[in-house]
Structure 1
């Protein structure tokens, strides 16, 4: 498999792997453009499909972690017909090579304690690659790390992410443009909530500082209900209605 690096120079004419049309990916592409100068790297397969890795210096990551000197993997996604060919290993190996070149302490990524969850790294794959659990949020989301330097201090969650909670009643949804699926589904969920008189407050996170101090370990999509973190998986309008009825 050959891979291509997405940059400011080619992003307008290249697809970015997620299963969305170019029009629906515009917000994600704009988000990426603003991150490239902060060190973000996006590699994908030359062959069209969901096969890519996106990572950034952890001090610039839009997550509430303390991990200066590490690289943070925003997303490592290989699925569909791309699975089972070693492409995840290829992409991770490139990230490791880059981290060593930069003199980074290691890599870190969000996963779920004990099982796979939507839009989080696969804990079994990561453990097989040598990642260890560095910290765990109260909601079971795991910050995993692959140290590349001996005695490197492992990254950890900020307190706001370690103990995710808030004081507002009803549903509260935080989201960023890091995933193109949010731009598509969040408005549909808003319309559904309004049509069914379901209390829902939506907060669009548009800057790094706010994201790094959010009361949740995941910032791409974080749904709360009556002050309690519910999930990081992006909801369709039908899924949200089912959840609200529970």
Structure 2
């Protein structure tokens, strides 16, 4: 196993690839948007660690206090993403990355690590069954099946912010909250924006561009959240076909 991992820093951010979208020549706008988002996050203790190859093998986490999610807790780490794809699966890389996160959290005197999960695995959330094998347990839930998983070092646990619990808004239009934390968001939001404009679909596409906005969101969030007819739908990024199915409701 190639164990040559590196951490993204302000010094190497401009030169390192960011794993999710692999490009050799053409600059991808989603990657550049993510670089800009990381510019400020890295100074807040955000960690992006990856295998030193051009592949999707990485972990991304931050202090919960500065993590862009509506979760509250004292002295926790929030795990945004843990992904190992393609030929690199099954070789122990995910285990090495999560062990690094756990060791880093303990070295920093943290109380534990938490992440967003669901009773049914969602496509755009990290593998919660893998996390549970590491000792993560469900510590909070929503009425529609989302879960907060935590690996506690001292017996304390985080929880969803109170504003998350109802997961309803007073607006019947299509509402999408998004941040540029995920490189796939840029292209997805532009495709959906064009589709809604072309088909005269009332929609509000709201960029979550501050920590305060993220903490006050009316739903679970890991960089994306969709409402329709006042009801929360999903944290999954949508294709046009996915959107059409929601709009038929």
Q: Indicate the residue corresponding to 1:134 in structure 2.
A: 139
Contact 2:116 2:125 in 1 (8 A): yes
Q: Indicate the residue corresponding to 2:56 in structure 1.
A: 50
Q: Distance in 2 between matches of 1:163 and 1:143?
A: 15
Deviation at 1:38, TM superposition (A): 0.7
TM-score of the superposed pair, with normalisation by structure 2: 0.94
Aligned partner of 1:192 among 192, 195, 213: 195
Q: Indicate the residue corresponding to 1:64 in structure 2.
A: 70
Instruction: Give runs of ≥4 in structure 1 deviating > 4 Å.
Output: none
Q: Distance in 2 between matches of 1:219 and 1:87?
A: 22
- Secondary structure at the residue paired with 2:113? strand
Deviation at 1:199, TM superposition (A): 1.8
| 1:14-29 correspondence runs (5 A) | 14-21=16-23, 22-24=27-29, 25-29=31-35
| 1:26-175 correspondence runs (5 A) | 26-113=32-119, 115-149=120-154, 152-175=155-178
Unpaired stretches in structure 1, ≥5 consecutive residues: none
Residues 82-135 of structure 1, C-alpha deviations (whole Å, 9 max, x = no match):
21111110000000110011000011111112x321221222111111000011
Deviation at 1:162, TM superposition (A): 2.4
Q: Distance in 2 between matches of 1:237 and 1:81?
A: 29
CA RMSD, 1 decimal: 1.3
Q: Distance in 2 between matches of 1:82 and 1:23?
A: 23
Deviation at 1:170, TM superposition (A): 1.9
Aligned partner of 2:218 among 193, 212, 215: 215
Q: Distance in 1 between matches of 2:222 and 2:61?
A: 15
- Secondary structure at the residue paired with 1:153? coil
Q: Distance in 2 between matches of 1:136 and 1:91?
A: 26
Q: Distance in 1 between matches of 2:129 and 2:222?
A: 23
Q: Distance in 1 between matches of 2:82 and 2:241?
A: 27
Residues 157-185 of structure 1, C-alpha deviations (whole Å, 9 max, x = no match):
01111221101012101000111111111
Unpaired stretches in structure 2, ≥5 consecutive residues: none
Q: Distance in 2 between matches of 1:196 and 1:129?
A: 46
Change (3 A) 1:182 1:20: farther
Contact 2:80 2:222 in 1 (8 A): no
